[in-house]
Chains A and B, each alone.
Chain A
Amino acid sequence: MQKIGVFVCWCGSNIAATVDVQAVSDTLAKEPGVVYATNYQYMCSESGQNLIKDAIKQYGLTGVVICSCSPRMHEATFRKAVASVGLNPYMLEVANIREQCSWIHKDKALATEKAITLGRAAIAKVQLNAPLQAGESPVVKRALVIGGGIAGIQTALDIAEAGFEVDIVEKQPTIGGKMAQIDKTFPTLDCAACILTPKMVECSQNDKVHIYSYSEVTSVKGFVGNFTVSIKKKARYVAENKCTGCGECTTKCPMKNVPNEFNLGLDNRRAIYIPFAQAVPKVATIDPNYCNMLKNGKCGLCAKVCTAGAIDYKQQDQVIEERYGAIVVATGYNPIKLDKFEEFDYSLSKDVVTSLELERLMNAAGPTGGTLLRPSDGTHPHTIVFVQCVGSRDTSGCGKPYCSKICCMYTAKHAMLIREKYPDTEVYVFYIDVRTPGKNFDEFYRRAVEQYGVHYIKGMVGKVAPRADGKIMVQASDLLANEQLHIEADMVVLAAAIEPDKSARPLATMLTASMDTNDFFTEAHPKLRPVESPTAGIFLSGVCQGPKDIPETVSQASAAAAKVIGLLVTAKLTTNPCVAHCNELMCNGCSSCERVCPYGAITYVEKEFRMPDRTTQLRRVASVNPAVCQGCGACTVACPSGAMDLNGFSNSQIMAEVDAICQK
C-alpha cells in the first residue's frame, strides 16, 4: 500500500474562486492510502514546494498527488521537487483542476465535486505507479541541414562556427535558393547577390560545412541524437573534384534551347550548364533530358573541350549514408502556379509576369542584362500594373487561405525601383490591404507613395486582357473613388502567393514531423518553441515553417542553429521512461502496433519460447526500441491481445482512473 500525500493548490484565485479547495483536501484525505492532505495558495512557489518536500520526509510518502494546473505547466517543477528529497519523480501525479475544472466552470458546488473526482482518479493511478528510471542515449556530433537557401546556409554556418560538422543537402546544382534569384532586398535596397554570395563562398570554404548539391534525402531512420540518413547524389555527369568551373563546356554545347530555370524560363541555357556565375559549388551539370550524348550517344563535345577531363557520361546516382544528431528542415518555398486564375491571362500574355520573374527581368545577370524590357517585344514598358494578393488570402479553393507576407514589401520595392530607373513609367499598385509591419517597412512603403509617386489604389483587378496592338487592358476597381478603372498597361506583374516546396510533404513523412493543412511544418509551440518540430531532434528554419522575409528567415535560421548546438553539446540525452513495452507471452505477432507506430519504434523479432511441455517454440513478437518510442500510446490501443503497455500509463492504471471517476 502506498502512503500518498495530496496537495491542493489555490493558484491564487484561479482555482480557489471556483473550487472549494478546503473541501477538496478534506474529502481526499479520507481516500484509501492517503496519509496527508493539505491546500496552499501557490503550490509551485518555493514555500509550496517546501511544503511537499517536508511532508514527504515527515510522513514517509511513497506517492504524491498535486491538484493544480495542467501537467504541461508544472509537472516538471513538481517532479524535480520530489526527486530532490529522494522520491522517484514518476511517483507523482498531477490532477488538472484548473484548465479542466475551475477555468471552465461557474458553479462552485459542481466544480468542487469535479475537482474531488479528478483528485480521486489521480490517487487511484498513483496506487499503481512504479518508480521509473530515465535512460540515456548518446548524441552524434553532426548536423544535417536539408535545403541550401539562405535559411539553410545561415543555420549551417552558425552550427559550423560552434565547431560541429554540418552537411547541407540541396536538390539544385548550387546552393543559394530563392535569394540568389532576387535582385534587391527591402527595405535597404542592397543587392541580394552581394550579401548572399559571400555566405555561399563561406559554406564552401568552411572545413566543417559539407555541401551535397544536386542531392536529395531519400530515407531517415533513428531518433534524436542518432539519425541515420540516406542521401542520393544525383548523377551530374561531371566529376565534382575535377571540374574547375571554367564554363568552356557551357559555351560550346550545341543544345542551346533548354529553358533556363534560374531565369524562370525567360531565356535559354545549354544542356550542360552552371546555374549562375557565383554558383557554389561552381561545377557544371549535364541535364540528361536534353543532352544528346546521354539521350542518343551522339555529340561528346563537352568532353572534348574540357581540359580538366571532368566529363563522365557514365556517372551513376550515388547513395550515401550518414549519421546525424540533429536535422534542420529548410526546404523553402515556391510561387504558386497561376493556371487557376484565367482572369489574369498569365498563360496568354508574355507581358503578364510574376514578381519573381520581374526580379530576373530587373537583374543585371538576368535575361535582359538588367534593363526592364517587355518579354514579348523587348520594348520599354511605360505603364505597369501590379496586382497584389494573387492567390493569397483566397478561400475559394483557387489559392491559399493565408497571407504570403512578403508581397506588400517586394511590390513596394519593385514599384520604387522602376520609378527610380524609369521616371517616365506610370506604376499602379492594386492592393486590398498594405501590410508592412517590420522595422523601417512602413516608412519604405510610404516612400514609394510620397517620394516616388507610385499610384497605390485600394481595390482589386478583375480582368486582364491582352489586346492585338500589344497593350494589356486592365479592368479594376478603385474602392475609395467608387469607380471602375480601365487602364491600358504595357506590363502586368502578379504578386503570386507562395507555398511550401513540394518536397516538404514527403520529407515530413520521412521525418515523422507534423505539418499543417497548407504543408507548412508545425512548430512544437507557436510562441515558445517556434524553431523546433514536435518531433525531437527536428528543427525548422525559414519559409518551410510559414511565410517570412529574409531578415526573419535569418533570425529563425540562427535560432534553429542555437537549438541544434544546444543539442549537440549534450553528452548524453535523457530518454523519457514512459515508453511502450511488449508482454511477449501475450503478443500474437499481428503487426498492428508496428503499423500504427508513427515513430517506427516497433520491430518484430523471432524469439524462442519455452513451452510448458519442455519444447521450444519460435514465435514472432513485437519489440520496442525505447530510445525511439515517444510514449504516444497508439500501440497500446491498437494491440488486440493487450500485449502492448505503456510505462507510467499502463492499461491497469487507466482503468483504475476510470473506476475512480465512475464510483460515487
Chain B
Amino acid sequence: MNNNLKEQVLRMSGVNPLKCMRCGKCSATCPSYDEMEYHPHQIVYMVEKGEIEKLMASPSIYKCLSCFACVERCPRDVEPAKLVEAIRLAVIRQQGQNHLKAKDIPDLIEADPDLPQQALVTAFRKYTK
C-alpha cells in the first residue's frame, strides 16, 4: 500500500471513497464492465485500501469510457469515474519521471522564448505533484 499515491489520487479526484455503501450500482450501470479486470465498485474499494499501484498497472483504467454513467447514478455521490481519471493521471505523471523542476525553467524559456507563460505555469502545476 502506497499512502502517498492514495493521497495523490484522492486529492486529484476530490472523491471520498468512504462514502461508498457498496451497492454496486456503478458496476451495474457500466457499459465496459465485461472488458475490465477490476470493475468500478472494486476500483473504489481498492483506492480505499490504497492499492493504487495494482490499479495503475491494470488495463482496466483504460477501458473506462468516461461516460460518467456511474457518476450520474451513484446514490451516494461517490463518482467512481473521477477516481479512474485520477489513476490514469497518476500513471502519466510517473512516465519517464517527467517532473518539471524549478531549475529547468530558465532553460525552457531560453530554448523557446515564445513559450506562453500560462503553459509553463500549467506544466509546473501538473508535473510537480
Contact between B76 and A475 (Cβ–Cβ < 8 Å)? Answer: no
Q: How far is the CA of A91 from the CA of B39 in the complex (A)?
A: 69
* Residue A551 lies at the interface, judged by CB distance under 8 Å to chain B: no
Chain A residues within CB distance 8 Å of chain B: 343, 389, 393-399, 432, 458-463, 475-477, 479, 482, 484
Give the residue among A394, A458, A461, A477 with the most B Cβ atoms within 10 A.
A477
A-B contact pairs, 22 of them (CB 8 A): A389-B23, A394-B75, A396-B74, A396-B75, A397-B77, A432-B21, A432-B22, A432-B23, A459-B23, A460-B24, A460-B25, A462-B26, A462-B27, A462-B28, A462-B69, A463-B28, A475-B29, A476-B28, A477-B24, A477-B33, A477-B41, A479-B41
Contact between B29 and A343 (Cβ–Cβ < 8 Å)? Answer: yes
* Residue B73 lies at the interface, judged by CB distance under 8 Å to chain A: yes
Residue of chain B at shortest CB distance from A476:
B28
Give the residue among A432, A460, A476 with the most B Cβ atoms within 10 A.
A460
Q: A477-B25, A484-B30 are in contact. Are A399 and B75 (CB under 8 A)?
A: yes
* Residue B112 lies at the interface, judged by CB distance under 8 Å to chain A: no
Mostly, the A contact residues are: loop
CB contacts (< 8 Å) of A393 on chain B: these are: 21, 75-76
* Residue B19 lies at the interface, judged by CB distance under 8 Å to chain A: yes
Q: How far is the CA of A105 from the CA of B57 in the complex (A)?
A: 50
CB contacts (< 8 Å) of B75 on chain A: these are: 389, 393-396, 398-399
* Residue B107 lies at the interface, judged by CB distance under 8 Å to chain A: no
Contact between B77 and A462 (Cβ–Cβ < 8 Å)? Answer: no
CB contacts (< 8 Å) of B110 on chain A: these are: none
Chain B residues within CB distance 8 Å of chain A: 19, 21-30, 33-34, 39, 41-42, 69, 73-77
Residue of chain A at shortest CB distance from B69:
A462
Q: How far is the CA of A192 from the CA of B37 in the complex (A)?
A: 49
Residue of chain B at shortest CB distance from A463:
B29
Counted as pairs of residues, one from A and one from B, with CB atoms less than 8 Å apart, the total is: 67
Q: How far is the CA of A142 from the CA of B82 in the complex (A)?
A: 60
In addition to A389-B75, A460-B25, 10 A-B residue pairs with Cβ atoms within 8 Å of each other are A389-B23, A393-B75, A394-B75, A396-B76, A462-B25, A462-B28, A477-B28, A477-B33, A479-B22, A484-B27
Q: A395-B19, A396-B75, A484-B34 are in contact. Are A479 and B27 (CB under 8 A)?
A: yes
CB contacts (< 8 Å) of B34 on chain A: these are: 484
Give the residue among B24, B26, B69, B77 with the most A Cβ atoms within 10 A.
B24
Residue of chain B at shortest CB distance from A388:
B23
CB contacts (< 8 Å) of A343 on chain B: these are: 29, 73
Closest Cβ–Cβ distance, residue B42 to chain A (whole Å): 8
Closest Cβ–Cβ distance, residue A339 to chain B (whole Å): 15
CB contacts (< 8 Å) of B74 on chain A: these are: 396
Residue of chain B at shortest CB distance from A392:
B75
| Among candidates B19, B21, B30, residue contacting A462 with C-beta atoms closer than 8 Å | B30
Closest Cβ–Cβ distance, residue B74 to chain A (whole Å): 6
CB contacts (< 8 Å) of A389 on chain B: these are: 23, 75
Q: How far is the CA of A654 from the CA of B25 in the complex (A)?
A: 56
Q: A343-B29, A395-B75, A398-B75 are in contact. Are A479 and B21 (CB under 8 A)?
A: no
CB contacts (< 8 Å) of A482 on chain B: these are: 39, 42
Q: How far is the CA of A459 from the CA of B42 in the complex (A)?
A: 13
Contact between A462 and B76 (Cβ–Cβ < 8 Å)? Answer: no
CB contacts (< 8 Å) of B41 on chain A: these are: 477, 479
Q: How far is the CA of A343 from the CA of B72 in the complex (A)?
A: 10
Q: How far is the CA of A432 from the CA of B34 in the complex (A)?
A: 21
CB contacts (< 8 Å) of B30 on chain A: these are: 462, 484
Contact between A396 and B28 (Cβ–Cβ < 8 Å)? Answer: no
Q: How far is the CA of A298 from the CA of B77 in the complex (A)?
A: 55
CB contacts (< 8 Å) of B33 on chain A: these are: 477, 484
Closest Cβ–Cβ distance, residue A2 to chain B (whole Å): 56
CB contacts (< 8 Å) of A398 on chain B: these are: 75
Q: How far is the CA of A462 from the CA of B23 in the complex (A)?
A: 10
Contact between B73 and A462 (Cβ–Cβ < 8 Å)? Answer: yes
Q: How far is the CA of A398 from the CA of B27 in the complex (A)?
A: 19
Q: How far is the CA of A397 from the CA of B77 in the complex (A)?
A: 9
Nearest first, the 10 closest Cβ-Cβ pairs linking A and B are A462-B28, A462-B29, A460-B25, A477-B24, A477-B28, A477-B27, A394-B75, A432-B23, A484-B33, A459-B24
Give the residue among A399, A458, A459 with the most B Cβ atoms within 10 A.
A459
Contact between B28 and A459 (Cβ–Cβ < 8 Å)? Answer: yes
Q: How far is the CA of A482 from the CA of B28 in the complex (A)?
A: 11
Q: How far is the CA of A484 from the CA of B73 in the complex (A)?
A: 16
Closest Cβ–Cβ distance, residue B106 to chain A (whole Å): 49
Residue of chain B at shortest CB distance from A396:
B77
Closest Cβ–Cβ distance, residue A259 to chain B (whole Å): 30
CB contacts (< 8 Å) of A395 on chain B: these are: 19, 75-77
CB contacts (< 8 Å) of A477 on chain B: these are: 24-25, 27-28, 33, 39, 41
Q: How far is the CA of A190 from the CA of B86 in the complex (A)?
A: 54
CB contacts (< 8 Å) of A399 on chain B: these are: 75
Contact between B77 and A460 (Cβ–Cβ < 8 Å)? Answer: no
Q: How far is the CA of A70 from the CA of B13 in the complex (A)?
A: 46
Q: How far is the CA of A649 from the CA of B54 in the complex (A)?
A: 65
Q: A393-B75, A394-B76, A399-B75 are in contact. Are A460 and B23 (CB under 8 A)?
A: yes
Residue of chain B at shortest CB distance from A458:
B24
CB contacts (< 8 Å) of A484 on chain B: these are: 27-28, 30, 33-34, 39
Give the residue among B34, B73, B75 with the most A Cβ atoms within 10 A.
B75
CB contacts (< 8 Å) of B22 on chain A: these are: 432, 479
Give the residue among A389, A396, A397 with the most B Cβ atoms within 10 A.
A396
Q: How far is the CA of A399 from the CA of B75 in the complex (A)?
A: 8
Residue of chain B at shortest CB distance from A433:
B21
Closest Cβ–Cβ distance, residue B63 to chain A (whole Å): 13
Q: How far is the CA of A417 from the CA of B39 in the complex (A)?
A: 35
Q: How far is the CA of A343 from the CA of B19 in the complex (A)?
A: 22
Residue of chain B at shortest CB distance from A484:
B33
Q: How far is the CA of A486 from the CA of B51 in the complex (A)?
A: 30
Contact between A461 and B77 (Cβ–Cβ < 8 Å)? Answer: no
Q: How far is the CA of A394 from the CA of B75 in the complex (A)?
A: 5
CB contacts (< 8 Å) of B21 on chain A: these are: 393, 432
CB contacts (< 8 Å) of A461 on chain B: these are: 25, 28
CB contacts (< 8 Å) of A394 on chain B: these are: 75-76
CB contacts (< 8 Å) of A475 on chain B: these are: 28-29
Residue of chain B at shortest CB distance from A430:
B28
Q: How far is the CA of A432 from the CA of B25 in the complex (A)?
A: 9
CB contacts (< 8 Å) of A476 on chain B: these are: 28
Residue of chain B at shortest CB distance from A343:
B73
Q: How far is the CA of A482 from the CA of B45 in the complex (A)?
A: 13
